[in-house]
Structure 1
Amino acid sequence: MPRKAVITFDLKSQTSNDYKIAYDILGNANFQVVSPNMGILLPNTTVMGFIPDHWGAADLRDAVMDTFRNNGLNLTSILCGIVSDWAVWGDRADYKSFAA
């Protein structure tokens, strides 16, 4: 059964297009900038999604680092964690703004 995971990251000397590429990569892996079910926007450069049950945080970190590197993105830091309990508070996502 897939497990919920969270990733937060920062890129070194990158443009807004580089962040778009990063979010596209993570989105293709089903990591989103909104919380599951509640649609709350997560803090900047934070995404939440699911990973295979046999993966750990280090597996996720290594996969993201390799994929970013292969796409020319330069990470300065990354935090990956497996989520067993979570709570969120904040503004609800305006899904219309994502379509623009």
Structure 2
Amino acid sequence: MIIGRSVEEITPKVILDTIEKQAKQGVDFFTIHAGVLKQYLPAAVKRVCGIVSRGGALLAKWMTIHNKQNPFYELFDDICDIMAEYDVCFSLGDGLRPGCIADATD
């Protein structure tokens, strides 16, 4: 997520500040994992392959440590504002994509 910081140290403010800093520097594409929600984590831990997305796994760890909702979900409107201001494209990353057929129906 953010180089030089552990997952425990990342705050919603750090996320927004980093996105804006990188957009100002000219980054023109981001993947935002806003769909990994706290209420989905109990099902995800029962998976055969677990959470195979690196972004999804980092967010699951952050939500578990902080006992809070996904900051990308909660900050989504602010993130969209930054993307529009700096003319940046972004995709919604599938942070809970299945890693095997057995996990495809949860």
Question: Same fold per TM (> 0.5)?
Answer: no
Structure with greater helix share of residues: 2
Q: Output the TM-score relative to the length of structure 1.
A: 0.30
Higher strand share: 1
Query: What TM-score, normalized to structure 2?
Result: 0.29
The structure that has the greater radius of gyration is 2
